[in-house]
Chains A and B, each alone.
Chain A
Amino acid sequence: MDERVLEAMKPYFFDIYAVATSEFGYSMGIDAKEALERSRENIASKLDANSEEIIFTSGSTESSNTALKGVTLALKEKKGKHVIVSKIEDFPVLNTAKALERQGFAVTFLDVDSEGFVDLEELKNAITKETALVSIQQGNQEIGTVQDLKAISEVCEEKDVLLHTDATHSFTRLPLNVKELPVDLITMSAHTIHGPRGIGALYIRKDTPITKFMDGGFQEFNLRAGVEDIPSAVGFAKAIELVTEEENRRLKAMRDRVIEKSLSEIPEVTLNGSWEKRLPQNANLTFHYVEGESITLHMDMRGFAVSTGSACFSRSLEASHVIRGIGGDHERAHGSVRFTFGRYNRMEDANAAIEAMSEIVARLREISPLARK
């Protein structure tokens, strides 16, 4: 987390520690409420939305659950019990879709091409009169592929179907404007932009049919019950304010350096996802003939935290559904490594990471029975 975020949050733990009250409450509660609403406005303005269209949640998982379950519950009688998601969505969307499936919804899991892109024709053909919601992410969590959200939203608008997008990894890193794009619901999170963990938001376009999912009090326009986490909301707004275009360009330069050097300096490397249409902070490459967990462990011993789609790395021992979704086999997932860059990385770090990778991969290939020429 950025220390400036913590500083912005502090007063709402100690000085203005009240829960938000209505404007007829006590002064400290009114101050707290005002801080909450200011944060809401900041988030809304980033999307060019109105603040009444933003609700706070506990993070992207809750935002996506609220979007998918809330809209389908509201529309299952009026419209139908069909939902469309892409195959490479992150777990909040993917597993919510699977949960809906178990409850009797029909779910189409759209295929993606070898770089992770959804096919617009396929999307068009998948939409029926019964389709209540389409959910396609903006940027992929593992391979960084950025979908053509403009084209996707236009298809949905033309077919009169609501569209949700998971922008957890793209919010503030890429432009997203609800006046320009007919997207109806957007999942966002603070944790991906050096904000506090445990807070996210959901954009819900005015008049979108949605049933309350978390029952209780009347907070968040009666769409999400629960005492508002004001320090975190303030922190989220501050985190958004701190992301600059200059920073995004810097992340992109580090990303490009790692991709470029991996491809040119290490033999037998494949880039996963598209280079051109890619999240600025994400690089993901497969280093063939070696296993990802071995790489991440060696990298960790040298002070680098990277991630892999290898089955050996995951809690479930399942290889990455994203790499498999783009047509990769187990071997491709096995040696895939994801680099994510943040505010505190410098170009020297990117260079050092590749130097370390180069050595580690060479060493592991020495002992790999597959790497022999």
Chain B
Amino acid sequence: MKFPYSQKVLEHFKNPHNVGQIENPDGKGLEGSPACGDMVAVYIKVNPDTKVIEDIKFESYGCASNIATASIITDLARGKTLDEAKKITWKQASEELGGLPPIKAHCSVLAVEGLRAAIKDYEEKHGLVTEKEPTTEEVIKKRLKHVMNPLTGLDIIRTNLILKTSIEDGVVRVVVDLPANHQFAPAIKEDIMEKLGSLWDVEKVDVVFTA
């Protein structure tokens, strides 16, 4: 067999660790979207005193590198404190796996984002977020990098689908370079609303299409 994947990636792909759901998780993260591409869900159980991740599971609707990264990253996070787990990077996961093809970076980054989202979810639910970051155009852009452009499978920022973003008095406005009747317009809109609507100081999200 000749694949662009290391033996370790293939092992984790064939027999992924930590697969499944946790009933009533303490934290849950969902990254990606079904309409646009790969998707990863991460569930964590956290010890309330020590803040150690005692159980962690994932689900994936993705390709081999997505599954393998989610598998290794949940291995890495298990037994670590939230602060330690937060620092786990894609690079670290990639090194543990013996390297990942560069073209597959975005599929595997999703797994890392999933873990971070689960930690963030826990922190928000448990009042651990001390300083709330105000939503700026930078924050919006960063979030929109997680919305895929189904026409290409790459994110909507990188593929220049977003013409303009702004925020004023809690109202976010996003201008998408697509006609409103485009076949992917509803999926992209839904994805944008979901990614921005959960920000603490955002009250309303307006997604505007160019035609």
Contacts and interface: CB of A to CB of B under 8 A. Distances in A.
A327 interface: yes
Nearest to B14: A301
Interface string B125-159: 00000000000000000000000101111100000
Given A312-B107, A318-B153, A319-B150, A367 B60 contact: yes
A367 B39 contact: no
Interface residues of A, number: 31
B196 to A, nearest CB: 20
B67 A311 contact: no
Given A367-B67, A368-B59, A368-B61, A297 B35 contact: no
B153 A369 contact: no
Contacts of A313: 63
Contacts of B67: 294, 367
Interface string B22-47: 00000000100011111111000000
Contacts, number: 91
A31 B130 CA distance: 88
Contact of A329 (B14, B19, B150): B150
A329 B154 CA distance: 14
A368 B16 CA distance: 12
A318 B152 CA distance: 5
A262 interface: no
B103 interface: yes
A297 B3 contact: yes
Given A293-B63, A312-B62, A372-B21, 8 more contacts: A292-B63, A294-B62, A312-B37, A312-B63, A330-B148, A367-B19, A369-B61, A370-B61
27 contacts: A289-B61, A290-B61, A291-B38, A294-B13, A297-B3, A298-B14, A300-B1, A311-B153, A312-B104, A317-B103, A317-B152, A317-B154, A318-B152, A329-B35, A329-B150, A329-B183, A329-B187, A330-B37, A330-B148, A330-B150, A330-B187, A334-B37, A367-B20, A368-B60, A369-B30, A369-B40, A369-B60
Interface of B: 1, 3, 13-14, 16, 19-21, 30, 34-41, 58-64, 66-67, 103-104, 107, 148, 150-154, 183-184, 187
Interface of A: 289-294, 297-298, 300-301, 310-313, 315, 317-319, 324, 327, 329-331, 334, 366-372
